[in-house]
Chains A and B, each alone.
Chain A
Amino acid sequence: MTTPLLQVDQLSKNFGGVAAVSKVSFALEAGQIVGLIGPNGAGKTTLVNLMTGVLRPSGGSVRFNGLDVTDQRPYQASRRGLARTFQIVQPFPQMTVLENVLAGALFAGPAKTRDEAMVQALDCLEFVGLADLAQRSAVSLTLPSRKRLELAKSLAMQPKVLLLDEVNAGLNSAEIVDAIELIRKIAARGITIMLIEHLMKVVFSLCDRLLVLHHGELIAQGEPQAVANDPKVIEAYLGSKFAAKMADQQAYLSEVNHV
């Protein structure tokens, strides 16, 4: 068995008495698109923050590319090839779109000189379809364009793993179709992707594997279809009463079908 690209082991984070993330373990294999789902407040963003050094874990470890990176700072994560986007877009508002992307290429990418970084930045803008807006200030962009800018910025770092925190939140359905296409294209570049997502349409059309977080615990993982039918997952999303009702209904239906 090959060692996975990213290995999270027994990762925990407590805020006072609240266990936001508790003993979560999973692995990301190179080349996969993995979805991280769970109800609001399940600890998804906290988990990403733990993996990228924004927060210090209370326990457990993160190994990336064969290296223990549990205590890394965010800038180190980016330089090592573990990039992320934020749920709420975080541009450098008064800089141009190009400068925003240039920052990623210059500080976290492999580029040695500013010219080299500039070429990479322009390439990334072309890739996400923002090349025409390169000289506009980031603050003047529409929300879908800002989300693309976030993607371009993280791509400019030439990451091995990209953690996308709700890149589709706030987009309309036409924009989501475009976004799905873009994420596929990123994956085709050989970048491993972990996707936090609420929209099941996106999750099911993109992901090879799903992780389900509930109250900070990993309650299920596996193939998307199998996870969707997992009673524990249904319970987490719909509540125990409704889940029991649904199980009854299903049992009844299968009985009827047998007869």
Chain B
Amino acid sequence: MNSLRSGLMWFVPLTVLLALTPFISNNYIVQQATFVCMYATLALSWNFMGGYTGYPSFSTSAFIGLGAYAGAILQNGGVPMVLAWVIATGVTGLFAACLGYAILRMKGHYFAIGSISIVEILRLIAASWSSFTGGGEGLNLPIFRGGPEYAGMVFLYAFLVLMLVAVLATVLVDRSRLGFGLRCIEQNEDAADMVGVNVNASKIAAFVLSAIFCGTAGAMSASWVSYISPPDAFSIVMTLKVPVMAMLGGAGTMFGPVFGALVFVVIEQSVLSRFLDYNQAILGLIIVFLIFFLPGGLLRSTLFKQFKQRILTKDPQESKP
């Protein structure tokens, strides 16, 4: 398929470059590369629900936080780190399946509000249930041994692998019956039901897919930073940032979310970090700009298509219609 090949043309070099950062640059860059992998994973997850299925989900932080707390509590209970990540993933997936059964009856704005409320509810539970979650004081995790440079490298590769798994899942879903069914739902849910798509089961599958990688990412980042607290784990800003990344690259495309995450990290580091007082206002402006001028995302923009055409055809003059 053409979109797969043209996506891989920049995705493979990007992956190689990210993997090489520990050997060619400093700790700061390695950390940013890790963020790119993490954000790409989160945006790819959101894409199953918000992109393919067309349901504006703001539950991302609920899944991140749940994964983080599940992983932290397990690790503190003596479960080995990687096993804790796996179990946290399962817990998040199970939670999403049950939650999806309940809230996927809502559509449009109602679903958006319902999904964002889950973040707040879970944050309040985490903040209140002190005996289990540490309450407002948060939880400390065992510190990863081997020094900051070694730890940075390990977590970079962990997130890189997770991103690759999320990309693989996206490619598989994109080409499967499930993916086609989700796109039908996005276009017209009633008509999808009428042509024989099991709408409820498909939506729940998409919701679970959008949750599990967030759960793993949450558990992994908890191990990475060795400390979690309710407002960090269940962050409202994060739940808004992730859809912005996916939309920036192109919601409903296979590689758009990765591209969006990359661009977002660059913007965040070069612009937002210089205007600490205004960074959320700038984020708001980016959202408005996206909706008005780039509704299909960067990968679907004419500028990018012309660029792609120029690379794919050897003689740029020939590509002119």
Contacts and interface: CB of A to CB of B under 8 A. Distances in A.
Contact of A86 (B180, B183, B194): B194
A107 B197 contact: yes
A200 B192 CA distance: 32
B198 interface: yes
B193 A103 contact: no
Interface string B184-209: 10011011111111110000000000
B191 A90 contact: yes
Nearest to A156: B195
B195 A107 contact: yes
A73 interface: yes
Tier of interface size on chain A: 20 to 34
A103 B183 CA distance: 10
A92 B191 contact: yes
Interface stretch (A24-32, A74-82, A214-222, A247-255): A74-82
Nearest to B196: A108
B181 interface: yes
A92 B187 contact: yes
Interface of B is mostly: helix
B109 interface: no
A95 B238 CA distance: 32
A78 B187 contact: no
Interface in B160-190: 177, 180-181, 183-184, 187-188, 190
Given A103-B180, A106-B180, A107-B181, A92 B188 contact: yes
23 contacts: A52-B194, A54-B190, A73-B198, A74-B190, A74-B194, A75-B193, A75-B194, A75-B196, A78-B196, A83-B194, A84-B194, A86-B191, A92-B183, A92-B192, A93-B188, A95-B183, A103-B181, A103-B197, A106-B177, A107-B181, A107-B197, A108-B196, A109-B196
Interface of A: 52, 54, 73-75, 78-79, 83-84, 86, 90-95, 102-104, 106-109, 114, 153, 157
A-B CB proximity, top 10 nearest: A108-B196, A107-B196, A92-B187, A90-B191, A78-B196, A74-B193, A104-B195, A103-B195, A75-B196, A79-B196
